[in-house]
A and B are shown apart, each in its own frame.
Chain A
Amino acid sequence: MKKNWLYLIGFAILAILPFVFSNQYKLHLIILIAINVIFASSLNLISGYVGELSLGHAAFAGLGAYATAFLALKGVSPWLGLIAAVVMTLVVSYLMAPVVLRLRGAYFVITSSAFQMALFYVASNWLHVTRGPMGLIGIPLPALFIPGFGSVLLDSKLSFYYLSVIFAVLIVIACKRLVASPIGETWVAIRENEKLAVALGIDRFKYVRIAFIFAGVFAGIGGWLLAHYVTVVSPDNMSFELIVSMILMIVIGGRGTIAGPIIGAVIVTLLPEYLRWMGNWRMSIYGVILFLLVIFLPKGIMQLWGTISQKGILADFVIPRKE
């Protein structure tokens, strides 16, 4: 099987990558890419496939981060924190769904943004619980119990690299499977022609809620990783800047494709770093580059892929697929 080989090669590359880039700073960037892949891929479910731009996505990342931070600071294991982050985002997205999913287009954007702002200001101002902008500090690192070795603290960049990459890979695979499934087909159908989709027996609310909940829970898992990686959780974990960078990732990479958000996460994470030598000009040049990318590749970098070849190793990752 040609495809299985490609997966194996991909996993092998991910496994040896930290030895190629053994530099701690580079490893740090790769970990951030992995976490950003989680954020972008999850946003892509609701904004790329269903086609509703969610400005509330960062709030789910923040909820996941705060859920685990509260528990971890009380001495609860980070793994239980992970469960708490999942349950928290699951419950909130389930309850949010009937409110926001009634709305479409600009109304959805505004309502989801209001949701993010509400949580952001709660986190900023509920001082005796969240410590406001000072944030919750000293969040412990997760430890892994390995039979024969006992409990191993994931305190090195290397170990955290593997942890975040495993989660990123699992989430990308989950997104890919969801998208390839009939559930994913309903998302695309609703995006392309809602009336016709409904006439064909597709219950819009039911399926869009599935996308919304998965997006929220995956973002929560990303938030959990980020909280334990940087060991600080502050309102910045659900800030407007975070959601802007997530949107940039999916727009630059290519909305409604599996590979797009991954490419976007790499670019949006690395580009500002590669422009560091420009000093004060850095962010301006960064802005101009993003601007040009969006002008010339409105469907993202995956658009190039479509024009170069219709079939190839990545074709399987590009939805809609040709059968």
Chain B
Amino acid sequence: MALLEISQLSKSFGGVNAVRNLDMTVENLTICGIIGPNGAGKSTVLNLISGFYKPTAGSIIHNGQVITGLPSHRFAKLKIARTFQHAISFPELSVVEAVAISQIYMDKISIWGSLFKPSKVKNWKQARLKNSYEALRLVGLEKRANEKCKNLPHGEQMGLELAIAVATEAKLLLLDEPGSGLNGMEIDKLMEILKKLKSQGVTILVVEHVMALIMKICEKIIVLNEGAKIAEGNPNEIQNNPLVIEAYLGRGGAIA
């Protein structure tokens, strides 16, 4: 059964149809990619799935449960996490503290507990920090744990975003252009991490510009153009699809 089933999803901003009648599925334990030229509606799809935008029409079903239009803070409990494009996570916090925030949604301490049970608060924080180190180790940032988030270079910033998402113990990761601005080595590392996550039981939906990344790790690729799906298939099929080539390079072009 598919982990995520999207049917007839549409979103319009005023007169602009950012996403039009999108049907797609994300199978459990796969890496699925969404590509498309600028303005194709890729990020909008991600924002719709993660509840940041309310769809104009259509439905999103996760694990057999309708999640269309759910407020965005409810997704962590459904084990869905996302990353943002070019975001500095929590600038003034240290890296490990930023990751530790990922588990607060589990909500184990009440106001009463906060005021009158400081040892319980401390123990839970210790436990969260310990889990944070695990997530940091996955992305290779454990040595940066005590640095302020804002002091990390761009490449590591993406790793941190990923660690934060992973630390929520999500089963479905929605990644918004994780490869943008990364160099070749960093992209190789990112692919390693994503493959490792998949082997640990995480399903990944990735919106991306960087073709090298998408073509190497995705089982399935969905191509959007002007808000509508124009192609779907494995990397090989996509690379040879005339519609895709046309959307990217214009009529008569070819993917280099």
Contact = CB atoms under 8 A, between A and B. Distances in A.
B105 A180 contact: no
B121 A177 contact: yes
B93 A192 contact: yes
B77 interface: yes
A131 B203 CA distance: 67
Of the listed residues B52, B90, B97, B125, the one surrounded by the most CB atoms of chain A closer than 10 A to its CB is B90
Contacts, number: 106
Interface string A237-255: 0000000000000000000
Contacts of B89: 192-193, 196
B111 interface: yes
> Mostly helix, strand, loop or mixed at chain A's interface?
helix
B78 to A, nearest CB: 9
A320 B96 CA distance: 11
Given A185-B104, A193-B87, A323-B129, A201 B94 contact: no
Interface stretch (B112-120, B178-186, B192-200, B208-216): B112-120
Given A195-B84, A196-B89, A181 B114 contact: yes
A contact residues, range: 20 to 34
A200 B164 contact: yes
B76 A199 contact: yes
A184 B101 CA distance: 11
Interface of B: 50, 52, 71-77, 81-82, 84, 87-94, 96-97, 100-102, 104-105, 107-109, 111, 113-115, 118, 121, 124-125, 129, 146, 164, 168
10 contacts: A178-B114, A185-B97, A185-B100, A192-B89, A192-B90, A197-B101, A201-B74, A202-B104, A203-B71, A323-B94
Given A203-B71, A320-B92, 10 more contacts: A177-B121, A182-B109, A182-B114, A185-B100, A186-B101, A189-B90, A196-B84, A201-B73, A201-B74, A323-B97
